[in-house]
Amino acid sequence: MSQAQDTFRNRVRAFAEKEIAPRAADIDCDNDFPADLWKKMGDAGLHGLTVSHEYGGSDQGYLAHTIAMEEISRASGAIGLSYAAHSNLCLDNLYRYANRSQRENYLPRLCGGEWVGALAMSEPGAGSDVIGSMSCHAEQIDDHWIANGTKTWITNGPDADVLIVYMRTAAIEAGSKSVTAFLVEKGMPGFHTEDRMDKLGMRGSNTGSLIFKDCLIPEENVLGEVNDGVSILMHGLDAERLVLAGGPVGLMQAALDLVLPFMHERKQFGQPIGNFELMQARLANMYTALQASRAYTYDVARRFDHSRALRKDTTGCLMFASEHAVQVALDAIQILGARGYMNESPAGRLLRDAKVYEIGGGTNEIRHILIGRELFAETDMQQDTEFIARHA
């Protein structure tokens, strides 16, 4: 870590400890995102970390973005998830693929926190097979598109002022050339959202459905090229998985923050429970899981900043961190004992929040398949190259 990155981490941590951590329990209980945090995060320069100064960002890159995600999630997993949906899924994708007019229209308000952003892929019948099963569709008529269908489980959906929405715009037989990305604004005719969902975890990260019924989307709100939405989606997933990996890393750190003082304070048989080897072993497992996840994620982020990260690694760091975050949260509950099982303890919230990272952004089952497929393809290509070299 450079001195500048350490300084940035400390600044984000100070913000999170002051503005987010004291409210985390209430956010979870009320299941509502405090609207004032969007502007406060904007004023703190936390939005637009991968966006150029020209449009209100700070152009610090994906490692900085991952660090911010980690520290915000350390204070509240729910705030971290909504932050990522705004600053990465919407803001970063919009910056990468929007034309100049779209950038000038949306980015300054999103970077400043005046507007909230979201991204919509999933549907009631389209999850892991989001392209093949997509039924939400749009048809071009004159200078508008008419959209119909439903998107669901959309983080920030109930609050968003602008959303990147993927819709089918050509016959399914066209495969990857059958989907278009649109910029949909709150208040467009024929578009409305449903009330936020009552989730197991990430409560306060407002999630809901988007309903399109003959929704009028202007032609200039196409993001990128017509029928080229899949390429935007796939490139965006790489950045999404990387930045999201900061979430479980932050939750693991929060679990350690919780149990370390307890192991000194809690005494049994005349001594702190931290003196017992079983407790030390469990603590060691928590610590090494955190450090391994953080090191892997940071390494991928550095390579991503230099366009050297591969899809298997952006996928791998989230898969690895999410699996370990669930176990670390369970370990924290075990160390805390009965106290950890009570809802007054944040330990249960950490477990509930960690679980979503094994599901969202592509399930861990899909991540295993993707990584294995890429490794197999790479080795096959390598063998072909070696064969050609030997027989040239």
Q: Which residues form the catalytic set?
A: 240
Alpha-carbon distance of 267 to 227, in angstroms, equals: 64
Contact 156, 117 (CB under 8 A): yes
Q: Which residue has the tokens 């999103």?
A: 110
Q: Which residue has the tokens 């610590």?
A: 287
Contact 196, 158 (CB under 8 A): yes
Alpha-carbon distance of 52 to 35, in angstroms, equals: 25
Give the residues across from 147 on adjacent strands: 138, 215
